[in-house]
Structure 1
């Protein structure tokens, strides 16, 4: 083993903003050399730039990571600019002969990293990449013919057979010894919104400690009734782990192991643990699909859907983004998204179905809005989930499944508590009418202080008409004729 007196190792942080269960950090430490931790804010590469809500999260997560590294005697170096140029500058400043990183598996990022690695290798600098973000690396879970799975259930079965979560590690205690280097000030990056600051309702704790706390809270509370909480937005049953997983503040292996252990120990019903494990598997499925089908965010997985006759409805899209569609469950979800940077899982499906099938607006428009406004915006999951609702993706919801925003609200927000929280104009509306206030008697609306078209909008589209219109268009594209409504 070498000593810290020799050339240091550069540890390039990206979507792995943690010290525990970090394979690149562990392997860098195993060299015995000093470690130079660095994060490069690269806005000019081909990699899709993060949205506003994600940048808010990144700001807080980097501050937390910097503090954790500082507590262990090290210093997180911040650089802004082209990734390769900044790495080369660091190599020149430190004399480093190795760059360690946890791999990014999104196609553009993977291509960029590969180009950087080949360029540095030609100059004698070793680049080593590890899997710190998924249970199994993309390309490692294949069907019997050696190809990618396109259906989730068999993918999940194979994933469970192959996934072997590694033992939990806490990372090196001592990160001192690296040379003193110039670093940007994170305040100068402007990641936190200003003029106006729209993040006042973001009730999150980014960072590794926040991720661990979220996992413990979920296992202690929400996991016990997860199958209900995941569908009822007024229930506190969601895990709220998705942004922590996206930024790598906690590893999926740690989440997987903790949930499985809770089920095996009888702390939670085994069926509830299995339900959530399937959600981790869906995240994995999305990442593997994007690896094999890199056009997933831009093109329909099923090519015939690229010929869908989308409408250009600027007013409809604007009403959808602002939560002013006149359908309370849709409006509640879109307002929750804007205020908190997050939306409940069931409501995500409802609002996506409304945009795609009631308004016939291209799913890519909705995906782009979510990309900018979600703190958990993830390229693979975002694209896969939008295509699932559209019916154009792998193992997608069938095209004839069109969510009825009224019946969905009545079924999953029976008492209207979710709507009342996010659409306060309807707070005094009785539960019988709250999901379809336009059907309420005039005296009921008057007593509730609701004036349709004034204090709360009338529906911007008639759902029955929109459903028939969508079915006709979808039938023509898909070549099938079944009809169904959920």
Structure 2
């Protein structure tokens, strides 16, 4: 008779410390087998040198080594569809419960429903916990239980409801001896899952007190290294959101804190309105007749539009997997408004390139610049890519770094004239919306 075990399934929570689901799994008095599944449903859509896959793999190897050295245990790295993986696991082990943390994206919700159903037919419980946000689902809603679709009232309600008890640390360290004592669990190399090591590195995050303190005054200037680079780490859970909110509160920086609330705002929008992944939140915006010129889209992707700040942003993205947030707004607006290219094209390109890609924030922000989303910029707000340089990169430090050829004869002329593009955009939007 096999001894009963529980399984903890790592997903967007790649850390051993302050992990809510892992803590509860370890507290159940049944040995815990930790697993991570390289999901073929996700991997097959990615470039074979994807930096995020390299980052995930390296993070998991670090976690495995720590478990082997300190706890005589490790983690099983598995490859396949989650259903196929669990079909194999139930043959090998006497599983009582599978524990994980909530995931809110449409694919993840469908996947978890399928796994829960599969396990329940075998009398195995499936339990998940809130871990990657402070508030989720219906926890911040209006008095009539409708979701907020405007950020400011959502943010105010979030702050009203917030208590320091929401930042309770889940002390997993004291329980890690409850892991299954087995040091030869399956491991996988990058090549085992069909990937090669990326040349790009996911940047470490910076939440030093001086960065948070100066965040509001410096965050809009892309030449300054003044942003936290937290995106990928919150996306993959290599850091706890509770820890980051504590740091923001310690420095009493409202702007930094409110950026964290923006993240949760977009996550609850995606939860309540999953159709916004590929449909405009405001349906009439799907009537816009996009030009969708493929050669112009290619020029935008390659940073060859003839507008230095736009091109600098796209080249930074292509070379590093990161783009400063102020520049993201400009390049997004330029694609939708100047070139009249569907926001979904840009969203898909960012999804492939950004290290910090998160579906909720990416979709939310792209719909924001297109004017089609919740709490969006009005459609007649069209950033001027030339005056944006004067505002945010007056000394051309950022432009010179990423677009050093902008004064060369080989630099392309502007792909479209600003005044003409603005008028064309206003006409296209008016025709669709009236």
**TM-score, shorter chain, exceeding 0.5:** yes
Give the secondary structure class of the aligned counterpart of 1:100: strand
Of the three residues 385, 393, 414, the one matched with 1:459 is 414
Cα offsets for 1:394-427 (capped at 9, x unmatched)? 001111110110001111001000001111224x
- Tell me the equivalent position of 1:379: 359
1:171, distance to aligned residue in structure 2 (A): 1.6
Distance 1:472 1:204 in 2: 42
CA deviations over 1:204-257 (Å, ceiling 9, x no partner): 24xxxxxxxx3xx43333212212322100112111001000001112222112
Distance 2:333 2:368 in 1: 10
Output one character per residue of 1:427-460: Cα deviation in whole Å (capped at 9) or x when no partner.
Answer: xxxxxxxxxx6xxxxxxxxxxxx21xx2x11111
Q: Shift of residue 475 of structure 1?
A: 1.9
Shift of 1:54: 2.8
On the 8 A contact 2:40/2:80 being kept in 1, the answer is yes
- Equivalence for 2:316: 336
Determine the structure 2 residue equivalent to 1:171.
Answer: 172
Larger deviation, residues 117-126 vs 312-321:
117-126
Task: Find 1:304's aligned residue among 284, 296, 309.
Answer: 284
Q: Which residue is 2:54 aligned to?
A: 56
Range with bigger deviation, 285-294 or 221-230: 221-230
Instruction: Tell me the TM-score normalised to structure 1 length.
Output: 0.83
2:18 is matched with 21
Q: Deviations over 1:239-290 (max 9, x none)?
A: 1001000001112222112110222xxxxxxxxx100111111110111000
Secondary structure in 1 matching 2:95: coil
TM-fit CA distance, 1:119: 2.6
Indicate how the Cα distance of structure 1 residues 189 and 308 shifts in structure 2: closer, same or farther if over 3 A, else same: farther
Structure 2 match to 1:274: 254
**Cα distance, 1:315 vs structure 2:** 1.1
Q: Residue in 1 aligned with 2:76?
A: 77
Q: 1:133 to 1:48 in 2, by over 3 A?
A: farther
CA distance in 2, matches of 1:122, 1:27: 23
2:229 to 240, 243, 247: 240
Match of 2:403 among 414, 423, 431: 423
Structure 1 residues 61, 151: closer, same or farther in 2, change over 3 A? Answer: same
The whole-number CA distance in structure 1 between the counterparts of 2:116 and 2:323 is 38
Retained in 1: the 8 A contact 2:202–2:232?
no
1:136-175 → structure 2 map (5 Å cutoff): 136-164=135-163, 165-173=166-174, 174-175=176-177
CA contact (8 A) 1:333 1:344 kept: yes
Corresponding position of 1:445: none
Q: CA deviation at 1:144?
A: 1.1
User: In the TM superposition, what are the counterparts of 1:26-425 in structure 2 within 5 Å?
Assistant: 26-44=23-41, 49=45, 52-73=50-71, 74-164=73-163, 165-173=166-174, 174-175=176-177, 176-179=179-182, 182-190=185-193, 193=196, 199-200=199-200, 202=201, 204-205=203-204, 214=205, 217-263=206-252, 273-425=253-405
User: Which blocks of at least 5 consecutive residues in structure 2 are unaligned?
Assistant: none
Q: Which is further off, 396-405 or 87-96?
A: 87-96
RMSD (Å) for aligned C-alpha atoms: 2.0
User: How much has 1:182 moved relative to structure 2?
Assistant: 4.6
C-alpha displacement of 1:48: 9.4
Query: With structure 2 as the length reference, what TM-score do the two structures score?
Result: 0.93
CA contact (8 A) 1:58 1:191 kept: no
Number of equivalent positions: 426
Change (3 A) 1:311 1:328: same
2:14 corresponds to 1:11: no
User: Residue 192 and residue 163 in structure 1: after superposition, are their counterparts in 2 closer, same or farther (change >3 A)?
Assistant: farther
Structure 1 portions without partners, runs of 5+: 206-213, 264-272, 427-436, 438-449, 480-486
Alpha-carbon distance in structure 1 between the residues aligned to 2:224 and 2:194:
32
User: Aligned equivalents of 1:231 and 1:324: distance in 2?
Assistant: 23
Q: Deviations over 1:314-339 (max 9, x none)?
A: 11111111111110000110011111
Q: CA shift at 1:193, angstroms?
A: 4.0
Residue 87 of structure 1, CA deviation: 1.8
Tell me by how many angstroms 1:115 deviates: 2.4
Aligned to 1:411, the other structure's residue is in SS state helix
Contact 2:284–2:433 (CA under 8 A) maintained in structure 1 = yes
Q: Aligned to 1:240, what secondary structure does the other structure show?
A: coil
Q: Tell me the distance in 2 between the aligned counterparts of 1:121 and 1:245.
A: 31
Partners of 2:202 and 2:107 lie apart in 1 by: 32
